[in-house]
Amino acid sequence: MDIEKELEICDCPLCDGGGILEEECGCGYYVMCWQCGCRSVTIDFHSEEERLEAAKKTVMLWNTGKVISSEPGE
């Protein structure tokens, strides 16, 4: 199953660059902007059953503007 095809990832809330869902070490997901490098928090999963829910929650946080930036003061 290709999780990314099931989820709609909005453009970056900071720069309007493209966001991409990334899997971290086979145990979590985060969304990252290709242009400015900001990202969402990583949502962990511990089983195959939790995988899709973790991806959905990560994308929901990204789409609502909950991102981490490396800019001063963030």
Tens-place pLDDT, residues 13-60:
999 999 999 999 889 999 999 999 999 999 999 998 899 999 999 999
Note whether residue 72 is domain-resident.
no
22 within domain boundaries: yes
68 located within any domain: no
Tokens 């973790």, located at residue = 54
State yes or no: pLDDT of 74 exceeds 80.
no
CA nearest neighbour of 18 among 39, 36, 29, 33: 33
Supply the pLDDT for residue 6: 80
Residue 71 forms part of a structural domain: no
Residue 42 lies in a domain: yes
Nearest CA to 39 among 6, 57, 65? 65
One-letter amino acid at 13 equals P
Residue 70 covered by a domain: no
Is 32 exposed, middle or buried, given 0-12, 13-18 or 19+ CB atoms closer than 10 A? buried
* pLDDT score of 69: 80
How many independent structural domains does the chain possess? Answer: 1
Residues spanned by the domain of 23: 3-63
Q: Is residue 58 part of a domain?
A: yes
First-to-last C-alpha distance (Å) of the chain: 35
